Amino acid sequence: MKALKTKIAVVVTLSIVLSGLTACAPAASPTWSSLQVEGDTIYMGSQAGLVFALDAASGAEKWRFPPAAEKKAIGGIYAAPVLAGGTLYVGAIDKYFYAIDVNTGALRWKFPATGRIYAEAVVAGGMVYFGDGDHGLYALDAATGAKKWEFKTGQGVWGRPFVGNGAVYFGSLDHHVYCLDAVSGQERWRHKTGAAVAGGPVASGGLVYVGAFDNKLYCLNAADGSVVREFAAGHWVWASPTIAEGVVYVGSLDKKLYAFDAATGEPRGSPFDAKGMIRAASTYADGLLYVATEAGSVWVLDAGTLQPKAPPFEAGKQLLTSPVVSGGTVYVSALGDILYALNAQSLTQVWPSPVTPSKRK
Amino acid sequence: MTQLWNQFIFNPMLNSLLWLYSVLGHNFALSIVVFTLLVRVVTLPFTLSQLRSAKASQDMQPKLAELQKKHKGDKSKLAEEQMKLYKEAGVNPLGCAVPMLIQFPIWIGLYQSIINVLPDSPVQLLSLARHIYLQFSHLLPLNANFFGISLARPFPAMAILVVATQWVLQKMMTPLATTPQQASQNQSMELTMPLVFGMITLNLASGLGLYFLTTNIASMVQQYFVTGWGSLLPLMQKVGLRVSAAGAKEESHGRKK
């Protein structure tokens, strides 16, 4: 009897210790699922390892990949699916990059990468480019999935590459911004930053803008990677910048949204206090700027003054991806695969309730 | 509560670990070992007090058993006599638990620091952003390479090492059994603890396994100097290992009692 009591005590103590230790560990499985909206369809990955095509008007499911009948899933998905030429491209943390038929949801091909894939892909010139979460960048034939070239970096590439003017620009956690020839993968230049670069660059007017974990937004010469200007924030700049109407907008984990004149680099008024970390790029549409925060707010700002146009929408969940604006509606997904549809002017909910496609059978 | 914990325990510990990493040649394995040992040095007075109390309680077991036999039907008398015995021996019955309770938050903070400083996904990296002192941001991502394995990911060999050292430690911590019932209890404890820690190591970052491994080895050294080889002694003699006078003396002392 005494031995039994001791065993029970041991099991209870260990359970308490284990629960404590498990609670301290950062959650490994959650992903932030980014969105893509094309026409009347929303394309969305999920932490459950499923890709969904949803009706933009109602949130109803059109198809899912892998199909429900197969009762299986791929790895969790961070990246927004990218639509090009009737194919949807998306990478997952199971280290595979998938090409899916956009009409049927059937698999066209899949490509094994070295590491987990966190970043959104870019399709250009018949090629698809995406970052490898462990190290490097891949360029594949968009039609067949055959590897065209691969470029190794010292650490992972977690941001979306930018393709333009025959070049691919991307940042790496190895503290560098790279520029490669888009066709051959040959390096043109690299620029050393003061810390990791987790977000994707954006190029415009011969300049490349990219944020880093040294709290800076770098403005580099697209031709040779030399520094043209630097902007300082109060915390990491993880979000990709948004460039519209000659203004560069960028959010930081210091909870502020900054605006700079693209031509001169001069600040455009005071930064906007979003009251929550800004992890993802803001979205510009029709003179308005949409900002999602880790504190769970969606803001709609006047792009000229950075003043709110309506009270913020409070999701109550972490919003770590960019809002997508289409047809007068703003779509935004929260951690946990929860999808909201909001009126683009008032930020009131369009659907009766948010949709969590991965919880539907 | 969470804010207080983060501000006074977790954040300072996490950033101390990052500081060590910056001064130890960006070697994260070495940083974990040094960090763990430093924390052990700081908590050494508590640990020694805990070990000594545990040993004193063990030494008193035969006398306590006698009292239990003598005052079988009288609980209040038994409690009174037990307290008297503790007082005479200069042993605090809670002497073992109090130092452990004081150390517990420190160990949890240490564990939390190691597991959070090696983010393996964007969500984990964002979590780290909430706790890092910004002057250490340039250190990220840490070089988690340890003899070709990534300390950010699970590694089975690390789990095996943790199980082996935890088993040896449990053996050392367990006094020699005097009854078959006690032997059975000891055996279940000696197996359960290593398996639990092995399972944790197998499922989480192997950097945590390195922390367990360092802790186990440091505990073994401390245990040896305070209580000797414990239940490991007969096993060592069985396989023909020569045992130092200190270890053997402690054990023979324990057995005579």
Q: Are B218 and B168 in contact (CB under 8 A)?
A: no
pTM of the model: 0.84
Mean pLDDT of chain A: 92
Q: For residues B87-110, b (16+ Cβ closer than 10 Å) or e, as one string?
A: eeeebeeebbeebbeebeebbbbb
Q: Are A98 and A89 in contact (CB under 8 A)?
A: yes
Name the strands in the sheet holding A96-101, side by side, starting at the edge strand that comes first in the sequence: A82-84, A87-91, A96-101, A107-112
- Which of A2, A118, A135, A236 should be substituted to probe chain B, the one whose Cβ sees the most B Cβ atoms within 10 Å? A236
Q: Which residues of B touch A196 (CB under 8 A)?
A: 137, 140-141
| Partner B contacted by A236 (CB < 8 A) | yes
pLDDT per residue of chain B (257 residues) written in tens, 0 to 9? 888 999 999 999 999 999 999 999 999 999 999 998 998 888 888 878 777 777 777 777 778 778 878 887 788 888 888 888 888 777 776 766 776 677 778 778 888 888 899 888 999 999 999 999 999 999 999 988 888 888 888 889 999 999 999 988 888 887 776 677 777 777 777 788 889 888 988 888 888 899 889 989 998 898 888 778 777 787 777 777 666 555 554 444 444 33
Long-range contacts (CB closer than 8 Å, 24 or more residues apart) made by A21-29: A21/B108, A21/B111, A21/B200, A24/B108, A24/B111, A24/B112, A24/B115, A25/B115, A25/B204, A26/B115, A26/B116, A26/B119, A26/B123, A26/B124, A26/B127, A27/B123, A27/B124, A28/B120, A28/B121, A28/B124, A29/A76
Q: What is the pLDDT of residues A248-273, one digit of tens each?
A: 999 999 999 999 999 999 999 899 99
CB contact under 8 A, A236 and B129: yes
CB contact under 8 A, A116 and B121: yes
ipTM: 0.90
Listed in sequence order, the residues at least 6 apart from A26 whose beta carbon sits closer than 8 Å to its beta carbon are: B115, B116, B119, B123, B124, B127
Q: Which residues of A touch B185 (CB under 8 A)?
A: 3, 6-7
**CA proximity to A209, closest of A251, A146, A256, A151:** A251
A327/chain B closest Cα distance in angstroms: 30
| Partner A contacted by B179 (CB < 8 A) | no
CB contact under 8 A, A10 and B188: yes
Interatomic CA distance for residues A174 and A192, integer angstroms: 9
Q: What is the pLDDT of residues A278-304, one digit of tens each?
A: 999 999 999 999 999 999 999 999 999
B220/chain A closest Cα distance in angstroms: 20
**CA proximity to A17, closest of B212, B9, B35, B65:** B212
- Which of A21, A193, A279 should be substituted to probe chain B, the one whose Cβ sees the most B Cβ atoms within 10 Å? A21
pLDDT of residue A328 exceeding 50, the answer is yes
Other beta carbons within 10 angstroms of residue A139's beta carbon come to: 25
CA distances from A63 to A44, A60, A332, A357, B3 (A): 11, 9, 20, 11, 43
CB contact under 8 A, B196 and A24: no
* Pairing relationship of beta strands A51-55 and A41-44 according to DSSP bridges: antiparallel
Closest chain A CA to residue B182: A3
**CA proximity to A310, closest of A254, A260, A348:** A348
Tokens describing residue B56 = 């004193």
Residue type for position A313 = F
Query: A248: exposed, middle or buried (C-beta count within 10 Å: 0-12, 13-18, 19+)?
Result: buried
Interatomic CA distance for residues A203 and A209, integer angstroms: 6
- Tally A–B CB contacts below 8 A: 86
pLDDT of residue A132 exceeding 80, the answer is yes
Q: Is A346 helix (H, G, I), strand (E, B) or coil?
A: coil
Closest chain B CA to residue A92: B121
Closest CB to A26 among B124, B185, B193 = B124
Tokens describing residue B101 = 């309770």
Name the strands in the sheet holding A187-192, side by side, starting at the edge strand that comes first in the sequence: A162-164, A167-172, A176-181, A187-192
| Partner B contacted by A132 (CB < 8 A) | no
Restricting to A residues 255-284, those with a Cβ less than 8 Å away from any Cβ of B are: 277, 279
Nearest 5°: phi and psi at B204? -120, 180
Q: Which residues of A touch B196 (CB under 8 A)?
A: 14, 17-18
Res. A10 pLDDT band, cuts 50 70 90: low
Restricting to B residues 1-40, those with a Cβ less than 8 Å away from any Cβ of A are: none
Q: Are B153 and B120 in contact (CB under 8 A)?
A: yes
CB contact under 8 A, A31 and B200: no
| Partner B contacted by A194 (CB < 8 A) | yes
Residue with the two structure tokens 């300072």: B12
**CA proximity to A149, closest of A138, A133, A164, A165:** A138
pLDDT of residue A13 exceeding 60, the answer is no
| Partner B contacted by A158 (CB < 8 A) | yes
Interatomic CA distance for residues B46 and B101, integer angstroms: 10
CB contact under 8 A, B196 and A214: no
The whole-number pLDDT of residue B15 equals 96
The alpha-carbon radius of gyration of chain B (Å, integer) is 22
CB contact under 8 A, A118 and B120: no
| Partner B contacted by A244 (CB < 8 A) | no
Interatomic CA distance for residues B99 and B44, integer angstroms: 10
- Which of B6, B111, B123 should be substituted to probe chain A, the one whose Cβ sees the most A Cβ atoms within 10 Å? B123
CB contact under 8 A, A14 and B108: no
